[in-house]
Amino acid sequence: MSAPASSLIGRVRRGPELATIVAIVDHQPRVRLHDGEQLLVALSLVPIGPSEFGRDVALEFIAGDPTRPLILGLVESPTPSSPTDEPAEPAEPVELEVDGHRVIVHARQELSIRCGKASITLDANGRVVIKAVQILTQASGSHRIRVSSIQLN
């Protein structure tokens, strides 16, 4: 997922650049430059956590080396838009690499996982919607369901 170093060797980058935080792996942010597809491991002068996924950052390259980005800070969002402003473009999906222990994904309004004809959607009001051709649940221990009511068909 990281950019091959050979594609970046020989290119010197000077001056601040913009990038987007797309993942954090082993406490190190992964960024994608706005002018490229390459994913780079970055050092940072500011704390970067899961709440910064999708945020733009200003960065420089250590000694001009395009394989050694250094995050200088987070780019502040513009002031809230007025109703007459055009809607903003949707943010790019966040790419996550997982260490096998725990993954936390935050969303303000809605989080969806989709694959083919199946989907799971969670919304901020606590509603969970599962859509699928078939649903199978299995448990080697007890399988408890707590609800206030059940509606079938």
Domain annotation covers residue 117: no
Using an 8 Å Cβ cutoff, are 28 and 39 in contact?
no
pLDDT per residue of the chain (153 residues) written in tens, 0 to 9: 444 444 555 566 677 889 999 888 888 899 988 877 778 999 999 988 888 888 899 999 998 888 899 999 999 876 555 455 555 555 555 556 566 666 667 777 888 888 888 989 998 888 999 999 999 888 899 888 888 888 887
Please give the C-alpha separations between residue 60 and each of 17, 21, 72, in angstroms, as whole numbers: 6, 14, 7
Domain annotation covers residue 67: yes
Query: Whole-model pTM?
Result: 0.48
Domain annotation covers residue 18: yes
CATH of the domain at 11: 2.40.50.140
Q: What's the domain range around 24?
A: 5-74
Enumerate residues 6+ apart whose C-beta is below 8 A from 2: 30, 38, 39, 40, 41
pLDDT at 91: 56
Total domains present in the chain: 1
pLDDT at 54: 85
Domain annotation covers residue 92: no
